[in-house]
Structure formats: structure tokens, C-alpha cells
Amino acid sequence: MTRQEEADSLASASMVWVPAGEFVLGCGPDEMALDADGSDLLASAKPQRTVTLGGYWIDRVPVTNREYRAFLRETDYPVPTARTYQPRFAVLNWDASAVTYPPGTADHPVVLVSWYDALAYCDWIGKRLPTELEWEKAARGPDGRPFPWGWDTDIEARCTMGPVGSEVECAPVGSFPSGASPYGCLDMLGNVEEWCADWYAFDRYARLDGPDGIAPPRPADCPARAVRGMGPWMLAKHVGYRGAYYPWDVSGLIGFRCARS
């Protein structure tokens, strides 16, 4: 079986279909999440508007350590490792000689992967990273809900989370089936943040240039890639939150999922 044939067979088993159509993008003027300095963490997700996307496939859950190991063993790609200035994430380092993840984490989302690492995996499996708009529609459905599951504020019962600064570990993917999005995606709030294909632009939602869904060009002042979702440290308890990291960054709180057109 070729890699593309394998990706095609996986689509029906591990991916969900998001149909073409309109959806509510971004956050309304009354939706706010205040940072310690009083700034609105949802400011970059405004204004709210209705946009249209074509249909696409997206992974039901983030890519796991088990799945990422298959890629590493076939390609000799470097194993996930925390930077020397990230000692708190060193416990998540892989064993380079055995090419394997820490014990007991096979079904946890892979972390300590840069945007480039995520892209390499997607290329290998015959998929791609989702755009920001694709990620948001898959997470929220068409109706602008604040959480993947709707409007119920009992967040702790539906995803992995903990107080800021805590040593909350990731959970195995799919641990909270009650947190599913309208299309069946899981772990889109809590567990890990996720890389998206786009360059990050703070004012992206204020100026969706060209056809809906077209990614913005590389910003001259902040060449960062967009991340979506919130890890266990939820500064902004809203699935519309937009974050950014340099594409070479790694974190114990950032993973990814794949998409296909």
C-alpha cells in the first residue's frame, strides 16, 4: 500500500468530514477573556463574521506519540526533545536511541514538535496542516458556540485543564467524548494547543482579504505561525482564542492534527 493509499484508508477511520458551507467565525463584541494586565485575550478573534469554506477532512484527534513514532522510524527524523532552556519539559523527551516516547504515553498527543516537524509528518502521511479557519469551523460548527460542545460552562467535565502554572499533564487523546465538536472532533479545547498552516496576523479577522479561507502572507514584523485551541492552562476559556509561536518553537503544550482537502 502506498502512503497516499494509506492516507485514503485512514480518512474514514481517523478523520471527520466537515461539509462545505457558512459558519460563524470569531468572537462577538461582548465575549471577552481578560489577561492579568486587563487586555482582552480574544481581541484578535474580532470582529465576528460569517464566512464560507469548502468541504475538507480533519483528524478526529491530535496526532499521538504512537503515530509519530512510525514516522520517525521510517524516516530517521529527529525525536522530540525540549530545548535546554525548557527543563520543565525534559520529562517529555523521547529516547533517541530507541526512538520511542516516555513510558505510558503512547496515546498522548505528540508534543515538543515545531511547526516544521508537524509539516514534515503531514507530508509523510499524505495530509497537511489545517488552516486557522478550517480548524475553527471543525471546532465550533456553524453557529459560533464558545466551546466545541456548545454553551455549557462545565468545562472541567469535558476536557483536560488545570490552573495556570500547574504541572497538568496531557491526557490520552479522546479521553473526553462529551467534549466533541458538532462534527465529532475531540480535544479541541484542553490537552494541547495545535499548529495551523497559517502565518499569524493579529488583525486577520478584521481583514479577510480575498476568498474566505485564504491564508495571510508572512508578516514582516512577527513571522509567527498560528496555534489554536488551549492547552491545560486555559488563559482564555473560549475556542475562538488565537495564539502564535515562532515556527521553530517547541513546547510541551503544543501538538497538531492533520487535514485533507
Question: What are the pLDDT digits (tens) for 51-68?
Answer: 999 999 999 999 999 999
Q: Mean pLDDT, to the nearest integer, of 7-21?
A: 76
Check residue 228 and report its DSSP letter. E
pLDDT for the residue 237: 84
List pLDDT tens digits, range 204-246: 888 876 556 566 677 666 789 999 998 766 677 899 999 999 9
Q: Three-state SS for 64?
A: strand
Return all residues near 256 (Cβ < 8 A) that are at least 6 apart. Answer: 62, 63, 110, 113, 118, 121, 122, 129, 194, 195
Of the two residues 138 and 212, the one the predictor is more confident about is 138
Q: At 6, is the pLDDT very low, low, confident or very high (cuts 50, 70, 90)?
A: low
Residue 86: count other Cβ atoms within 10 Å of its Cβ. 16
* 3-class secondary structure, 195: strand
User: Which cell goes with 200?
Assistant: 499569524
Instruction: Provide the pLDDT for residue 209.
Output: 60
Pull the grid cell for residue 151: 454553551
Q: What b/e string do you get for 39-62 counting C-beta neighbours within 10 Å, with b at 16 or more?
A: eebbbbbbeeeebebeebbbbbbb
The pLDDT assigned to 211 comes to 57
| Distances from the Cα of 197 to the Cα of 33, 119, 218, 259, angstroms | 25, 8, 11, 10
Can you tell me which residue has the cell 511547526? 115
Q: Which residues of 135-145 are buried (b: 16+ CB within 10 A; e: fewer)?
A: bbbbbbbeebb
**Weakest-pLDDT range from 124-133, 141-150, 158-167:** 158-167
The CATH class that applies to domain 3-260 reads alpha beta
C-alpha cell at 203: 488583525
Q: Would you say the C-alpha torsion 214, 218, 222, 227 has a positive or negative sign?
A: positive
Q: What length does the chain have?
A: 261
Name the residue type at position 239. Answer: V
- Report the share of the chain in percent with pLDDT over 70: 86
Query: In the predicted model, is pLDDT for residue 128 greater than 90?
Result: yes
Look at residue 53 and give its three-state secondary structure.
strand
